[in-house]
Amino acid sequence: MAKVFEAADASNLMTELRQSFDAGVTRGYEWRVSQLKKLLIICDNHEPEIVSALHDDLGKPELESSVYEVALLRNSIKLALKQLKNWMAPDKAKTSLTTFPASAQIVSEPLGVVLVISAWNYPFLLSIDPVIGAISAGNAVVLKPSELAPASSSLLSKLLEQYLDPSAVRVVEGAVTETTLLLEQKWDKIFYTGSSRIGRIIMTAAAKHLTPVVLELGGKSPVVIDSDTNLKITVKRIIAGKWGCNNGQACISPDYILTAKEYAPKVINAMKQELEAFYGKNPMESKDMSRIVNSNHFDRLSKILEEKEVSDKIVYGGQKDRDNLKIAPTILLDVPLDSLIMSEEIFGPLLPILTLNNLEECFDVIRSRPKPLAAYLFTQNQKLKERFAMTVSAGGIVVNDIAVHLSLPTLPFGGVGESGMGSYHGKFSFDAFSHKKAVLYKSFIGDAAIRYPPYSRGKLRLLKALVNSNLVEVFKVLLGLS
C-alpha cells in the first residue's frame, strides 16, 4: 500500500528542495543540460510505454500520442539544449548620461523552487513541457500530474524518479488532498494547466504567499468561416483540430463555429462528408479517435447534449455509449446562446454551428464572451485576416488552420483574461521560470559633486539636463549660458 502524503511530507519536500537550490545544485549550465538530456532519453527509450499509458487513460491512437505528445516534447528538449547558453547569457542594456560611466545588463535568475500542476488530456506533454522550462531556467521543481490519467501519472513518477536528480526534481502523485497540501507551501512560482474553476483555487492559494502564477486555462475557442474559403481543406483542418486532437478534449479545440446563414448548409454537408471519410459510417467503432476520459466527463457531456432545446438541434451524430465512454462526433445547428453548450467550455466531441445574418456579426459575438485561448478564421480575404488578428482578443490567433501555433516554439502559448495568464514554449518557457534581474556596474571614476548637498540652482539645472539626456542644455549650463 502506497504511503499517504501528509502535511509533514509536503513541508519536508519543500525543505529538501530549498536546501538543494540554496546550495546551487540547479544553477549551473552542466546540471541543467544533464537533466534535459535525461528527459530526451525518456522520450527516446520509453515511447512505447508512453503510448500504452495514453491508450489506457484516454484510448489515444498511437499517431496522436507519438506526434502530439512525444515528438513535440522531443523538439522542446532539443531546442532548449541548443539554445540554453544563449538563454542564460546576460542581455546588455543601454546606459545614459545619468549613470555615465557605467555598464548595465539583464541577468536571468532562477526563481527557486517551483510547482507544476498538469492536466489529464495531454498528460505527458503538459507535464514535461513546463518542467523543461523550469529546469532550463535553473529551478528545483515538483511535478503534480493529474490523477484523472492514472497510468500516465504512474509512468511519469516512475521515469522521472529513475532518470532525474531526486535532490532537485520530484513527482507527487495524488488528488485533491495532495494538491491542497502542496499549495499550502510557499513556492517561488506555480504553473497550472487545467480549468478556470481550479485556476481560481490555485490563484487564491498562491496569493497567501504572494506567489506568482502561470495559469494555462481554456475557454470557448471560436472558428469563423468565410464563404470565400477553400471549404474542403477548411473542414478537414477543423475535423483534425477538433476530433483528431483527443476527441475535442483539448484546451485549444474548436468550441463553436460562426458562419453566414446561407453558407451553413454547405459547411454542414462538407463536414458530414469528411467525417465519414475520416472515421467511417460508424465512428463509434473507429480506432482513430480517443474516448472520453471518464464517466463523470461522459455524464457532463451527455447533460449538455440532452438539454431542452439543444438535443433537437443535432444535425449529425449524437450517438453515445457510456459503457465504452464513447460519444460520436456531433454537429448542432443554432443552439440557444444561453444553453449549457454555449455557456461552458465543451471539452468533448460536440460542435455547435451558429449562423449569422452576415459575417460582420462574428466580431460582436466573440467580443461579448470571455476572451478565449484561441480564435480561428478561415478566409481568403486579406482585409478580414488583418482585422481579425488586430481586433479579436484571444490567447492566440490562427488563420486558415487549427491549433498549429502550438507547435511553434517562436510563438508564446498562453491565455488572456479568463483563458489564463502567462505564457510558455521555447524561450518563453525559460523566461516564465526566470527573474529578469537588473544589474548596473558603476565606476569610481567621474564622481560628480552636483548630486550631493548642498544643493544650488546651478546643480538643479545641470542635473535636470543630465536626467533628460539633453547634451545641448548640459553644455549651456557648464558654459554659464543657462
**How many Å apart are CA 79 and CA 432, to the nearest integer?**
16
Crossing angle of the two packed helices 264-279 and 231-242, in degrees rounded to 10:
60
**Which residues have C-beta within 8 Å of that of residue 204, sequence separation ≥ 6?**
none
C-alpha cell at 79: 531546442
What percent of the chain is helix, strand and coil (3-state, nearest 5)? 45, 20, 35
Q: Which residues pair with 350 in a beta bridge?
A: 330
For 185, counting Cβ atoms within 10 Å of its Cβ (0-12 exposed, 13-18 middle, 19+ buried), the class is buried
Q: Is 308 helix (H, G, I), strand (E, B) or coil?
A: coil
Shortest CA distance to 188 belongs to which of 23, 31, 21, 419? 21
Which amino acid belongs to residue 251? C
Rounded CA separation 359/273 (Å):
24
- Residue 315 phi/psi, 5-degree rounding, is -115, -10
Element (H, E) at 301: helix 295-306
In the residue annotation, 216 being an active-site residue is answered as yes
- Identify the active-site residue in 245, 251, 362, 418: 251
| 251 in catalytic set | yes
Those residues whose C-beta lies under 8 Å from the C-beta of residue 233, and which sit 6 or more positions away, are none
Name the phi and psi angles at 205, rounded to 5: -65, -40
Q: Which of 216, 274, 345, 418 is catalytic?
A: 216
Question: Which residues on neighbouring strands pair with residue 257, listed in sequence order?
Answer: 223, 353
Q: How many residues does the chain have?
A: 482
Task: Give the catalytic positions in this structure.
Answer: 216, 251
